[in-house]
Every structure is written in C-alpha cells, then in structure tokens.
Structure 1
Amino acid sequence: MRLDKFICHHTGISRVEAKRVLRQGLVTHNDEVIKDPSFKVNDDTNIEFNGRSYGPVKPRYFMLNKLANTLCSTIDEEYPSVLSDMDLPHTKGLHIAGRLDVDTTGLVLITDDGQWSHQITSPKKQCMKRYRVWLAEPLAPDAEERFKEGVQLHSELELTKPALLNRITNTEVQLSISEGKYHQVKRMFGAIDNKVVQLHREKIGDITLDPELGEGEWRALTEQEINSVWQK
C-alpha cells in the first residue's frame, strides 16, 4: 500500500492533505522522515505521524443483516447505503462481496480485501448462496426437478446451473444456487410461472447469517469464517 493511502486509511484525512503533511516532513518510518507519497508500506511497517504510531493495515471483514429498502452500495443514492448504520471510522475502501436487491434482506459480506471477495463473486468459484423464498402461488409439483436440471431464464441462451430447492411449505422454500445473475432468484421462479414476494439470504459458502444479529445489525467475521472462503 502507498504511504499516502496508508495515512488516509488510519486518519481519515484526504489524499491531498496526506501529501501535504508528507511534504512538510511530519511523517516518519523507523525514525526516518519520509516525504514520498508512493513509499510502499509493508506488513512490518511502523509509521509515526502527529505524535501517534500506526501499525500495518489489516484487511477487515464483516457480516451485516441487511434491511429491506437499503442499497448494496458504499454511498447513499435513492435508498440509504447498507454502510450508513455501520459505525466504522473509515469506510472508503470497503465494498460488498455479493450484492442483494434493494428489497431483499439478509446476509451481506463487506470487506476491503479484493482477493477474498473474488473467491465469493467470481463465477468460476461457484460459491453457493442459500436463500429463503416466499412465493405468491403454490409451488409446482415438479419444481425441485426442474431447478435441479436448470431453468431457461428470459433473454438467456443457456439454462441456469443446477440448483437445490427445498420445499418448506407450498409457498415457502429454501433455494441454493452457485450463480449470481441479475435478479436470478426472482427470474428463476418467474420461469416456472410463480412470483417471489419476499426474499432473504441466509448463507454464503460456509458463512451463515448470525441469528443473534437483528435487522440492520452487523459484526466482524471470525477467523474461522474468514478462512472458510479460502478453503473452497
């Protein structure tokens, strides 16, 4: 990581301001003044600035129980961002690992580790996501088999990948898919002449939404949860 970015991350000041304090000789590394904004900060770097010592930047990983009518974005737009209620000192580098529609609730993973989130979002990784789905009409008797074989989505040339459908009642199901096409769950049920009225994500890979988290609440991931993504 560049030194100017490192300073921004730890202090919240702008990149322009970080470069200014560097030019003024206010930042040291191992008691040596560093003025170069592009100076590389390593895992063992210790930077001193404004009377404080800052260690290396460590990646951050969180789970959030997403509310309906919030946006999987880092900024507020038509709807508030999911980050709005997260009391974190610096959110600029954070991003969503697997977005949800504005009206969908449940598990959202948030990180500033791009390689980690790639393990979740890359189609090649086929990371499974499990949803709880409530339907407008009773489920067709052959729905499980049709989802297992793959369904034809409107405007798509190929069938969806095999999906696991678990019937709870005729209008409530669990669905596990390994893809992340646009509005995929809603479109899959539309392909079998049904309609999703409520959608909630319960699980991503081996990470399950913490039942202790209320709507809009969040917590840091455990080491086990973080490492589970790399073990796929």
Structure 2
Amino acid sequence: MAKIPTSRVDRLLSSMGYGSRKEMARMAQAGGILLDGADLTDLSQRLAVTPDLPGRLEIDGAPLDPVPGLVVMLNKPLGMTCSHKEEGALVYDVLPLRWQRRDPQISTIGRLDKATSGLLLMTDDGELLHRVISPKRHVRKTYRASLARPLSGKEAALFGSGQLMLEGETKALAPARLEVLSPTEARLSVTEGRYHQVRRMFAAAGNHVEALHRESMGELCLPEDLAPGQWKLLDQEEIARIFR
C-alpha cells in the first residue's frame, strides 16, 4: 500500500500558491484558516495530503484548492502556446492565478502547437506526466485533420505500414490508423509524439494540414460541452482512461 504523504500546513499552503508561510501565519492568526470547522492557528502541524483534504480545510472562506496531484483537461483554443515563458497567450493563463504559483508547477503533458486546438492535459504530478509521454506506454492520440487537397486513397496503407520515414529522421514511424471522414477530412490516431508528427505525415503523403484538432488520448475524449478555453479537473477514473 502506498504511503500517504504528509505536510506541514504552512508549507503545503505556500506550495499551493496561497502566499508565503509568513502570510499564511498572519491569515491563521486572523481566523482565516479552518480545519474541520475550527480555527487552525498552529500551522506547524502535519496533515495527510489526501484528496478529501479540500473538504476539511477552509482558506479565507473557501475550500482548499485541489491537493497536489491534480490533472486538468483544457480544450485548447487556437493561438495559445504551451509554454511558461514565451510571449503572447499561454495555456496557463486560463488557470486560476494561484495555480500558476504552485510548486511543483503545473506543466502540460506533451504539447500542442499554436495552430492546433483540442484536448490538452496539464498536471503538477511529474510521475504521471512521464508515464503518459513515455514511448513505452504507446498512449494513442487521435486528431481530426482538415486538408488542403482531397485524399488520394493511399494514405491509410502508407500510415499503417510502419515504414513511413519522415524527412530528416532515421527511424520509421510506428503504424498509425487513418479514418476518412470526407474527401478533405480525416481522423488519424498515432502512438508517438514526434515533432509536428501529424502535419509531417500528411506532408509526406503530398498534402497539407489546414486545421488540426486533438479529440482524444487513449479512451479519454474531449467533452462536447467543454468550450474552447474552458478546463475541468479529472478524477481517477478519467485519468485511467488515458492508458486504455
């Protein structure tokens, strides 16, 4: 059985972006921190960091944020960058400001380029991040691609052959699955995450991707009611779908 992590309250709140440990101490002395409905003034005590802690700990009149180990699904809009440092609109901008100060920081699980929309996962769980992106896991990622020219009919065999070599690379791509949706639209499922892979695959087939949208990872699908720019927290059952 995995050992349940514990943390001093002041250290936990500071790592979750609420403020410095001194600021947390001042808040506690002013009655702003409650544990199980009672004032908590001694922030040196240790608490088990379990998923039910937000139901027990209240900070400045609101339940504690999700504890470390959170996973966020974002419907990434076009034009946003998966970066902490670049200029312009960043995917982290849609999250609560306090979450942007968390330590360990929230990072994207893989990336979608500026011109690609759809399902993007973010987490502060480094172990989970590496499990998802590990080539050994073969997590399936499914994209809907709109193309500049009609499909020739040969793409499914080419992509599924396991012999397609992208320009500038020395290792062939793993077999990928193509579903034709219309003469200029297709759904492509890949188990790798090479640089601009889907766009380069269609380029190798003599076509050009005009629009690209990620629909799913494993069996985790982007909900129809999650609008571009909106996000939701995932529960353990939803996280498990990534690996199916």
Q: Deviations over 1:5-49 (max 9, x none)?
A: 523134522xxx437978xxx8xxx98774xxxx98643799999
Task: Give 2:189's aligned residue.
Answer: 176
**TM-aligned CA distance change 1:40 to 1:97, over 3 Å:** farther
Q: Deviations over 1:172-197 (max 9, x none)?
A: 00000000001111111111111111
Equivalent positions of 1:90-101 (< 5 A) are: 90-92=99-101, 93-101=105-113
- For 1:8, which of 5, 14, 37 is the aligned residue? 14
- Cα distance in structure 1, aligned partners of 2:43 and 2:207: 66
- Answer yes or no: is 1:60 the counterpart of 2:70: yes
- Answer yes or no: is 1:142 the counterpart of 2:154: yes
- For 2:135, which of 101, 118, 123 is the aligned residue? 123
Q: CA RMSD in A?
A: 3.3
Runs (5+) with no aligned partner, structure 2: 1-5, 30-39
- Cα distance in structure 2, aligned partners of 1:212 and 1:32: 43
User: Normalised by the size of structure 2, how large is the TM-score?
Assistant: 0.76
- For 1:164, which of 177, 185, 208 is the aligned residue? 177
The answer on whether the counterparts of 2:13 and 2:24 sit within 8 Å (CA) in structure 1 is no
For structure 1, which segment, 184-193 or 3-12, has the greater mean C-alpha deviation from structure 2 after superposition? 3-12
- Answer yes or no: is 1:186 the counterpart of 2:199: yes
- For 1:78, which of 71, 82, 87 is the aligned residue? 87
Task: Give 2:221's aligned residue.
Answer: 208
The answer on whether the counterparts of 1:42 and 1:56 sit within 8 Å (CA) in structure 2 is no
- Cα distance in structure 1, aligned partners of 2:153 and 2:94: 42
Runs (5+) with no aligned partner, structure 1: none
Equivalent positions of 1:27-66 (< 5 A) are: 34=44, 42-43=48-49, 57-66=67-76
- Cα distance in structure 2, aligned partners of 1:210 and 1:130: 14
- Cα distance in structure 1, aligned partners of 2:193 and 2:48: 35
Task: Give 2:124's aligned residue.
Answer: 112
User: Normalised by the size of structure 1, how large is the TM-score?
Assistant: 0.79
Could you tell me which amino acid in structure 1 is paired with residue 167 of structure 2? Answer: H
The answer on whether the counterparts of 1:43 and 1:56 sit within 8 Å (CA) in structure 2 is no
Could you tell me which amino acid in structure 2 is paired with residue 68 of structure 1? Answer: L
The answer on whether the counterparts of 2:146 and 2:211 sit within 8 Å (CA) in structure 1 is yes
